Copies of this chain bind each other. A is one copy, B any other.
Amino acid sequence: MLGGTGHEGTGLALRWAKAGYEVIIGSRDATNAISAAADLQSRSGGLISGAENSDAADRADIVVLAVPFQVQVKLASAVREALIGKILIDVTVPLVPPKVARVQLPAAGSAVEALQQILGPEVRVISAFQNVSAHQLADLDGPIDCDLLVCGDDPEAREQVCQLARAIGVRAWHAGPLANSAAAEALTSVLIFINKRYKISNGAGIRITGLQEE
């Protein structure tokens, strides 16, 4: 969990640890990571350890990247060797402060496509969790009122991420190739706008409608 000391990373770490997965919190500073992990472990009742980012990436089976857009490429590139052959779940939203409620997608179409190009095809990059409220994730007794759009060019890797999402009670959808992450990345700014406009304190989310079994 690279960026595991941030809001979204913290929330995901708590949920997965509670669901029985072993989680390694990564941070630039190993001491910070270990300290954060100890705190999260006691909150989740699960197994959470801390390590410097490249150590964490090395030890993990599946790596999650949950850092601000501004450091996404730099951090992932720095640990690239440890990502080869693994699934990298990229949670990055290309927010450009100060106008975070305005969609400002990068020239590549989406932040995650730019990342995949830099990391190369040996890393199986999957985009997910952009729209799930960190606030809701961290409230372990509360529901997560948001569906997940899971995008990636490798359907089997996408399915693994869908299963990881379902393990923490999130309804996940195969949402198409990595290019389709533009929708999820753009939606986050829309949800931030809606949160402000309609005073939604707990975080707006999305649901996909139309499935008859509902």
Contact = CB atoms under 8 A, between A and B. Distances in A.
Interface string A79-120: 000000000000000000000011111000110000000000
A211 B205 CA distance: 9
A210 B145 contact: yes
Contact of A209 (B179, B189, B205): B205
Interface stretch (A30-38, A50-58, A196-204): A196-204
Interface in A152-198: 173-177, 179-184, 186-187, 189-191, 193-195, 197-198
Given A102-B177, A104-B179, A145 B190 contact: no
Contacts of A176: 101-103, 189-190, 193
Size class of A's contact patch? Answer: 35 or more
Nearest to A107: B107
A153 to B, nearest CB: 11
A205 B206 CA distance: 10
B206 A193 contact: no
Contacts of A71: none
Given A205-B209, A209-B146, A210-B203, A186 B193 contact: no
Nearest to A204: B210
B211 A200 contact: yes
A76 B206 CA distance: 32
A207 interface: yes
A204 B208 contact: yes
Interface of A: 101-105, 109-110, 133, 145-146, 149, 173-177, 179-184, 186-187, 189-191, 193-195, 197-198, 200, 202-212
Given A103-B109, A195-B210, A206-B208, 15 more contacts: A101-B176, A102-B176, A103-B110, A103-B180, A105-B105, A105-B109, A173-B194, A180-B189, A183-B183, A183-B190, A194-B208, A198-B211, A200-B210, A202-B210, A205-B208
